[in-house]
């Protein structure tokens, strides 16, 4: 057990005995918007297990009283409250340090993430308008798809409200990293708990660009064909789950895990823990695109530093060029919608 605990990094809170009280930790309120959904419920559960959280606010348009009552019985640090409907959104948000947003409809087989735009863009715009009013300083973890567009929508809403802080707005791309790590470890036969793989770009199809040349630890050498196949599987990971669920939604459990890992990293950053680095889709200048996912150092103010791409292979350079036009049009679509 000691070896496992030593080895574990960002996901360590999932392994720790987390039901000790954490008097030494600062008070931190986390709000989940969409908390009664397929992602929201297991994510709420995982946040309830996180000893860095002192208050957990669970908001949805329906069913949150039951979810909150259920989760509130777990004997961990945070106090849990459920909020339902527009009139309780302000109370759910007030005083939040981190707001996680998995609100919105998921894909069915045959759909792209962009097909969700018409419904989810409006949901995100409404929720971000309330965030600007009730917790303008919170760190935002955007999960709702299409992330490539919902993050620019959020930025525009916050700009209009005069509350935009580029350091505090994150598109959650952790599931791409989680998948890349799992698929890489399975292929090169290394311990998955030791694996790191940066994933850059965005969060849809070819805009998801795993950098397997930078994966650690190095195992058996990967052929070009194997790297191409690993890249494609990572890019199509969401579709793999959508098809397997056959109309019953998209990834929820692995996403809840990924969302909990990323929120934990944000909380650690806010609390001043050094060297917290995760990939995330943020406002960026490392390419000519205004939003881009890459490694980001997290700190007391959110983004401390957007890290560069490092050395890319020709295959990765080509992948970067190929993704730019799709990512740019998704960003532009979000900006246009928010300003319409």
Choice between 18 and 174, CB closer to ligand NAD: 174
Cβ pair 105, 124 in contact under 8 A: no
> Which of 18, 81, 145, 234 is in the footprint of ligand LMR by CB under 6 A?
145
Quick one: 118 or 220, whose CB is closer to ligand LMR? 118
Can the peptide bond before residue 146 be classed as cis, meaning omega within 30 degrees of 0? yes
Residue 289 CB, nearest distance to ligand LMR (Å)? Answer: 19
Q: What separation in angstroms does the CA of 14 have from each of 3, 102, 105, 149?
A: 15, 20, 27, 31
Number of Cβ within 10 Å of residue 167's Cβ equals 19
Instruction: Please identify, using beta-carbon distances, which residue of 144 and 234 lies nearer to ligand NAD.
Output: 144
Q: Binding of ligand LMR at residue 29 (CB under 6 A)? A: no
Q: Is residue 113 near ligand LMR by the rule CB under 6 A?
A: yes
Q: How far apart are CA 51 and CA 68, in angstroms?
A: 17
Cβ atoms of 163 and 193 closer than 8 Å: no
For ligand LMR, which is the closer residue by CB, 106 or 201?
A: 106
Q: Hunting for tokens 């998921």 — which residue is that? A: 106
Cβ contact 170:266 at 8 Å? yes
Please identify which residue in 32, 35, 100, 242 interacts with ligand LMR, judged by CB under 6 A: 242
Q: Is-catalytic flag, 20?
A: no
Q: Which does 172 bind (CB under 5 to 8 A by kind): ligand LMR, ligand NAD, none?
A: ligand NAD
Distances from the Cα of 297 to the Cαs of 32, 44, 265, 294, 302, in angstroms? Answer: 23, 25, 10, 10, 8
Q: Is 39 annotated as a binding residue?
A: yes
Contacting range for ligand LMR; rule: CB under 6 A; set: 70-78, 95-103, 105-113, 188-196? 105-113
- Interface residues with ligand LMR (CB under 6 A)? 106-107, 113, 145, 175, 237-238, 241-242, 250-251
Known binding site: residues?
Answer: 34-40, 60, 107, 113, 120, 143-145, 179, 255
């Amino acid at each position: 057990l000691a070896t496992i605990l030593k080895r574990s990094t960002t996901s360590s809170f999932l392994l720790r005995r987390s039901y000790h009280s954490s008097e030494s930790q600062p008070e931190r309120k986390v709000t989940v918007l969409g908390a009664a959904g397929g992602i929201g419920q297991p994510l709420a559960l995982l946040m309830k297990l996180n000893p860095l959280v002192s208050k957990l606010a669970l908001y949805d348009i329906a069913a949150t009283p039951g979810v909150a009552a259920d989760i509130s019985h777990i004997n961990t640090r945070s106090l849990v409250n459920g909020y339902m409907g527009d009139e309780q959104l302000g109370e759910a948000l007030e005083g939040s340090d981190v707001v996680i947003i998995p609100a919105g409809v998921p894909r069915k087989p045959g759909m792209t993430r962009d097909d969700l735009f018409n419904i989810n863009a409006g949901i995100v715009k409404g929720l971000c308008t309330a965030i600007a009013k009730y917790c303008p300083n919170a760190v935002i973890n955007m999960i709702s798809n299409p992330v490539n567009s919902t993050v620019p929508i959020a930025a525009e809403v916050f700009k209009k409200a005069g509350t935009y802080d580029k350091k505090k707005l994150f598109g959650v791309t952790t599931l791409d990293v989680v998948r890349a790590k799992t698929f890489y470890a399975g292929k090169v036969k290394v311990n998955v708990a030791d694996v790191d793989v940066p994933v850059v770009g965005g969060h849809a199809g070819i805009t998801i660009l795993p950098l397997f040349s930078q994966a650690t630890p190095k195992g058996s050498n990967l052929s070009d064909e194997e790297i191409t196949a690993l890249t494609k599987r990572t890019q199509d990971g969401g579709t793999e789950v959508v098809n397997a669920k056959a109309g019953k939604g998209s990834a929820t459990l692995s996403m809840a895990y990924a969302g909990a890992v990323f929120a934990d990293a944000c909380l650690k950053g806010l609390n001043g823990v050094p060297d917290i680095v995760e990939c995330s889709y943020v406002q960026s200048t490392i390419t000519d695109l205004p939003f881009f996912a890459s490694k980001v150092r997290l700190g007391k103010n959110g983004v401390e530093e957007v890290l560069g791409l490092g050395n890319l292979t020709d295959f990765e350079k080509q992948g970067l060029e190929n993704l730019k036009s799709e990512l740019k049009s998704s960003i532009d679509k979000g900006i246009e919608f928010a300003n319409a």
